[in-house]
Structure 1
């Protein structure tokens, strides 16, 4: 698990990215992690490994704002099919080297397409994410993230009614 953290540090350093590392107690809840990091819940880059239903070896690492929810039909369309599903914990570990919750918003595996919902990068000048470990986070300048990751930008979140008062 710590090798993903080291790869991230090396990658960001090699691109002269502006980032900081925060070590903290292991936490799986987005809102709680944001509180620990001193960032807004929406600033958290939630990384969700998805696979295309009915297709082998079609994967997408979908990055969205921590306060949003994925629309699996939109993700499925982005991956070239009808509907996507979340990858199992075992598959996520196998493909990313991380437990679910610790997957960073960067892919080190060429089989995984990187898709970022633009709401995340439009709202914040810095994004925060778990850095391959549940007890370490990074806060990275959004423009450096885009320059290094070069993701596909695509709206993949659920549309909420404008006057909705439901908490996501």
Structure 2
């Protein structure tokens, strides 16, 4: 497995300090983020999942703890929109250039507005997808927000 992906290159280019962590990705897992947390031995609250959604028809990225669900109402509000819905997997892959299970908020083909669940800021370090299945990056949440040119808001249900 390559530890050099568009996501890790984007983090390096942004001058962000991070570590890579690999694990055995299970394509049959019901919840990919929870499977990643278990595989790397980390609490689900610090292993963040990356979801692609649309707010008023425009693509957005949302990053939240793997054991939480996104509130579409709060997501729309975070982007000052009226409605939000999850992006279909094929569209998420086309938009980001990553495969589902390997979507990262960093190094996307076309960078879209990104929101991080504000609870992530309570932790010194968090894990996020590193741009391919079975690869996580460990970094400070403030650095992640900076690297993704994102912002923090309450988006969980």
Q: Return the TM-score normalized by structure 1.
A: 0.78
Task: Say how many residue pairs are matched.
Answer: 151
RMSD of aligned Cα (Å): 2.2
In the superposition, relative to structure 1, how do residues 156 and 116 fare at CA in structure 2: closer, same or farther (>3 Å)?
same
CA deviations 1:130-167 (Å, max 9, x no partner) are: 21211211112223223322312111111xxxxxxxxx
C-alpha deviation, 1:24, in angstroms: 1.9
Q: Could you tell me which residue of structure 1 aligns to residue 59 of structure 2?
A: 59
Gaps (5+ residues) in structure 2? none
Structure exhibiting the larger radius of gyration computed from Cα positions:
1
Q: Return the TM-score normalized by structure 2.
A: 0.83
Is contact 1:50–1:85 with CA below 8 Å preserved after alignment?
Answer: yes
C-alpha deviation, 1:107, in angstroms: 5.6
Gaps (5+ residues) in structure 1? 159-168
Task: State which drifts further: 35-44 or 21-30.
Answer: 21-30
Residue correspondence of structure 1 range 15-164 to structure 2 within 5 A: 15-27=14-26, 28=29, 29-52=32-55, 55=57, 58-106=58-106, 108=108, 109-110=110-111, 112-122=112-122, 124-158=123-157
- What SS class does the counterpart of residue 104 from structure 2 fall into? coil
- What SS class does the counterpart of residue 53 from structure 2 fall into? strand
C-alpha deviation, 1:32, in angstroms: 2.3
C-alpha deviation, 1:113, in angstroms: 0.8
